A and B are shown apart, each in its own frame.
Chain A
């Protein structure tokens, strides 16, 4: 048969073949094999294995497999990981696909981490967390019993929770065991912050105090506010303490000396939060490494440069 006619014929029977049922296709193959001579049978036997291979992950070069995988959603990809070890290996090695999955969940992608398995795990963890939130299974509650009045102040650091109460005490709890590991007498606490050496408390008695954990003694008393102190923050590096109060002001104090360095006004409501932050971004007013003071009342957040 002439080449051109042969090709036309082949195209035609291809179309017909594809339209057959599985049973009919099998019958066709059987029939063709029965019509085949030794040459065809040998050809079939030599090439059968390669002809039968359809595992695209094996047939395509890695970069093309990755290109293809990008069209699959994460759930399908996870199912595909269960197909066989080779598929699992290839799919779990495709960094881009898992980074994109995390990105679509709202994750910030750190491009310096190129390990695909890392991103796959991040994705799985995030999905699990989202499901737990939906099923109301994301949080564990435990009760810490010990105070005898309202607990208004909380500060968590390194596995320890500090609580400040109207019962004139502050307690330290080990979060993992739920046990109270320490406590000292203070004034009423509206805000607390602590480190290994000291505890700083902002109180409903309008003052701020600094306490030494080891002796329980008060080492500093910062007087000056005319309203409850709702928030405190301090920096040992700068030797400053800041306090936000119901008297519509923020005061900046010398931490070790106890003196008031500055009073910042302009607030129209109780200052409920103050934060001393080392900034990481460059802006018109400050550079990375500078400290800024953030403060919030009901309506505004004010940012103050600390000038050091």
Chain B
């Protein structure tokens, strides 16, 4: 199995199977550009926005999902669900919140739709489950005054 080398933001090199790497639309496009240019194919592909630790997690996800069918066309009118995350993905994403957000950023940068969707869904389901505790879960402080909040509640009234 041919592999390519990726260079993370921290300078470290990470080797990964080409087919797996192509799940990332960004890397796939970079590879297609490199093939056109014969020189320097042995240079690692620089990924300035992802560190190697996250890259490894991403690879782990891509390995498990390598035989997934392409995601269905986005039906704008259907309500998006967050409760259809597979058990494997749920376990995989039982990581610290920091890592979760870094995975979102990495999935976006590398353009891996499946990973982006499942990570966003996970955060969304965290918000849904713990709406009462959002301040605690996401360490956000409320800066509304009592009057402001009362006014807003009035608007939201249902």
Contacts and interface: CB of A to CB of B under 8 A. Distances in A.
A275 interface: no
Contacts of A80: 127, 131, 134
Interface string A81-105: 1111111100000000000100110
B25 to A, nearest CB: 15
Contacts of A52: 139
A261 B79 CA distance: 55
Which among A52, A82, A100 has the highest number of chain B CB atoms within 10 Å? A82
B94 A18 contact: yes
Contacts of A127: 158
Contacts of A70: 80
Interface string A19-36: 000000000000000000
Contact of B101 (A56, A104, A128): A56
B157 A71 contact: no
Nearest to B78: A104
Nearest to B155: A124
A217 interface: no
Interface string B74-85: 001101101000
A86 B140 CA distance: 10
Interface string A37-70: 0000000000000011111100110001001111
Interface residues of B, number: 38
A73 B134 CA distance: 16
A83 B153 contact: no
Nearest to A82: B152
Interface stretch (B16-24, B38-46, B64-72, B116-124): B116-124
B108 to A, nearest CB: 6
A56 B131 contact: no
A104 B156 contact: no
A68 B124 contact: yes
A83 B77 contact: no
B80 to A, nearest CB: 5
Interface stretch (B2-10, B28-36, B141-149): B141-149
A88 B139 contact: no
Contacts of B135: 83-84
Across the A-B interface, give the 6 residue pairs with the lowest CB-CB distance, nearest first. Answer: A71-B124, A68-B120, A54-B97, A78-B156, A55-B140, A71-B80
29 contacts: A52-B139, A54-B101, A54-B138, A55-B139, A56-B101, A56-B104, A59-B101, A60-B101, A60-B104, A60-B105, A67-B108, A67-B116, A67-B120, A68-B123, A68-B124, A71-B80, A71-B82, A72-B124, A76-B131, A78-B156, A79-B131, A82-B153, A84-B141, A84-B144, A85-B143, A103-B77, A128-B157, A128-B158, A131-B158
